[in-house]
Amino acid sequence: MIIFLWLLLVVAVIVWMTAKWNIHPFLALLFGAIAMGFLAGIETGVLIGSVGSGFGSTLQSIGIVIAAGAIIGEYLDRSGGARVLANNILDKVGEKNAPLSMSMTGYIVSIPVFCDSGFIVLSAINKAIAKRTKISLSILAVALASGLYATHVFVPPTPGPLAAAATLGADIGRVLILGLIVSVPVMAAALLWAVLFCGKYEVNYTPDSTEQKEVKHPPSFKIAIAPIVVPIFLIAFKSIAEYPTAPLGEGVIFSAAIFLGDPIIALLIGVGIAFFMVSGGKKKIQNMWLEEGLKKAGVIILITGAGGAFGEVLRETDLGDFAAQFATIGGLGVLVPFLIAAFLKTAQGSSTVAIITAAAISAPLIEPLGLDSTMGTALAVLAIGAGSLTVSHVNDSYFWVVAKFSEMDTATALKTHTVATLIMGITGLITLQIMAWVLI
């Protein structure tokens, strides 16, 4: 109990450092890890070793994957591929179903692209559709924002779930498959909220205020979607190949599936495909986009490593003994990581930081919570993702991106977008709890 109280104090300090003083989460998590070690009475030599090994072991499994995912996202953004996806889906679904179109577009685009960037890129399309169809922009904004958010917290190779999977030792393929399943009802619940309740909020907007410079030679739909779909297929195929029933046997096909489906190889293949999105193979543009993607990845990689260090320090404490009592409360194990992530998200704003920190805190709790199986750890990762949805409000940069680029005032954004994220988080928790009762 004392260790738990010290943890609450350290988490509160981390939140205060990041929210109040704008200290970078990388440093805040490292300071928190060291402080927790001293408060828990860990020997200095063990503490230093835990910080170093936790940082290194986390990045060993996930660093390249995050970098590759960021590169794919940057190419999809800069090449105009995201707009190609949006326009193609709109053509297929129809303008009358524009909210569904934008939600589906966000759902696909946000797998490699950060949700903030995705919303900025697609906001001009949102406004054009609103003007053409007379559908309230508040409906389209919430539909797009929630579609982007759903895969942002549930589906690798988005950095958050990748980092959580690495910290908890979860199988990425299993997280990916289950994340795609969970994210559908989560997205659908928010879409239903947008269509049924957000239309009463009128937004006065300027259709061309966020119009970006059109790319002269955007990629085709097949080229734009391939860097997203191919890695997902390969990772999922590997997970299927590794099932105990050995559906692919143990020969050449099995070996190929294991190699190509490794997240590092699968994402590097996606990077190779993404290069084809550059019109005419312009080397200078290609290198510039590559460097920008790596810059964005670097920040996430450092935060992820710091979260791993924090988690390793917590493993050296007796925190797991305190959490063991929750394992017997009606099989509600997934509720604990959800609540941890929800608290962190609501307090400090960033979903990615909330996921990484919650994963570090939850790591020593997985076994006493009864989530130490392959399926259990995957569900724990997704429970943290669901918590990180709950809720997006004024301390979240994504909240202001949605409000600003949809020209909503703060009150309207709180009544539409913020409520949508609450509904998404609760829907995710209910879905995961049902899955836990059935699968664990």
| For the chain, percent of residues with pLDDT exceeding 90 | 32
Q: Output the average pLDDT for the chain.
A: 86
Residue of 308, 304, 439, 307 whose CA lies nearest to 374: 439
pLDDT per residue over 310-331, tens digit each? 878 877 877 656 655 555 555 5
Predicted confidence at residue 322, as pLDDT, reads 61
Task: State the average pLDDT over residues 360-379.
Answer: 89
b/e for 277-314, b at 16 or more Cβ within 10 A? Answer: bbeeeeeeebeebbebbeebbebbbbbbbbbbbbbbbb
Lowest mean pLDDT among 15-29, 92-106, 173-187: 15-29
Give yes or no for a contact between 189 and 423, defined as CB atoms under 8 angstroms apart: yes
Predicted confidence at residue 177, as pLDDT, reads 93
Predicted confidence at residue 101, as pLDDT, reads 92
Give how many domains the chain has, as a whole number: 1
Predicted confidence at residue 417, as pLDDT, reads 95
Give yes or no for a contact between 53 and 312, defined as CB atoms under 8 angstroms apart: yes
Looking at the predicted structure, is the pLDDT value of residue 388 above 90? yes
Predicted confidence at residue 281, as pLDDT, reads 52
Specify the pTM: 0.80
Residue 74: give the domain boundaries.
2-439
Predicted confidence at residue 296, as pLDDT, reads 81
Residue type, 56: G
Which of 169-183, 240-254, 273-287 ranks highest by mean pLDDT?
169-183
Interatomic CA distance for residues 389 and 417, integer angstroms: 11
How sure is the predictor about 211, in pLDDT bands with cuts at 50, 70 and 90? Answer: very low
pLDDT per residue over 71-87, tens digit each? 888 888 888 888 888 88
pLDDT per residue over 216-266, tens digit each? 778 898 998 999 889 989 988 888 888 777 777 788 889 999 999 898 899
Predicted confidence at residue 222, as pLDDT, reads 92
Looking at the predicted structure, is the pLDDT value of residue 1 above 70? no
